[in-house]
Amino acid sequence: MQNGDQKLPGQPERQASKAAEATYKLAEQIGYLLRQANQRHVAIFTSRMNEKLTTTQWAALVKLRDLQPCSQVNLGRETAMDVATIKGVVDRLAKRNLIRTAPDTTDARRLVLTLTEEGEAAVARNLPVAHDISEETLSTLSPAERAMLAELLRKIS
């Protein structure tokens, strides 16, 4: 019930506080803008990607095509996924026979991942779709704006 917030009398207000309170608008915050933009992209992705693939599943498949054979943790690193997250993604893709998992013969810790035939086909089949999804997400921007957005996002990552 109590807030440990009381200030000593006579002590000056926190300098940043007043200004921040006056200016802080949720809809202008970078976190909110990022979340909104991402939401729209995911919505486009979901409605366009015919097979039931999520953005992260697609990322894992595409990246694995380049890296295979590849350990689970390494695929996670390359797709910016936590170990627990990549495990779930891999498990679901393996259950759908898009990915094959096998123990590494030289390093017993590792789980070696490869695309199945079906997985390779799914990637090849959906590359044009994925391209169109990126295109639609950026459809309101000029080529120069697209390049600028990509650069700015990279700069804050």
Query: By C-beta, is 52 or 154 nearer to DNA?
Result: 52
How many Å apart are CA 94 and CA 8, to the nearest integer?
A: 61
> 11 touches which of DNA, its own copies, none (CB within 5 to 8 A by kind)?
none
SS (H, E, C) the chain: CCCCCCCCCCCCCCHHHHHHHHHCCHHHCHHHHHHHHHHHHHHHHHHHCCCCCCHHHHHHHHHHHHHCCEEHHHHHHHCCCCHHHHHHHHHHHHHCCCEEEEECCCCCCCEEEEECHHHHHHHHHHHHHHHHHHHHHCCCCCHHHHHHHHHHHHHCC
Q: Residue 39, interface with its own copies (CB under 8 A)?
A: yes
Site string for DNA, 114-153 (x = CB under 7 A): ----------------------------------------
Going residue by residue from 13 to 52, which x/- string records binding to DNA, judged by CB under 7 A? Answer: ----------------------x---x--xx--x-----x
Applying CB under 7 A, which part among 3-11, 66-74, 114-122, 144-152 lies near DNA? 66-74
Region binding DNA by CB under 7 A among candidate stretches 11-19, 67-75, 116-124, 125-133: 67-75
CA–CA dist 143, 80 (Å, integer): 26
Does position 47 bind its own copies by CB under 8 A? Answer: no
What is the contact surface with DNA in residues (CB under 7 A)?
Answer: 35, 39, 42-43, 46, 52, 54-57, 71-74, 80-85, 87-89, 92, 104, 107-112
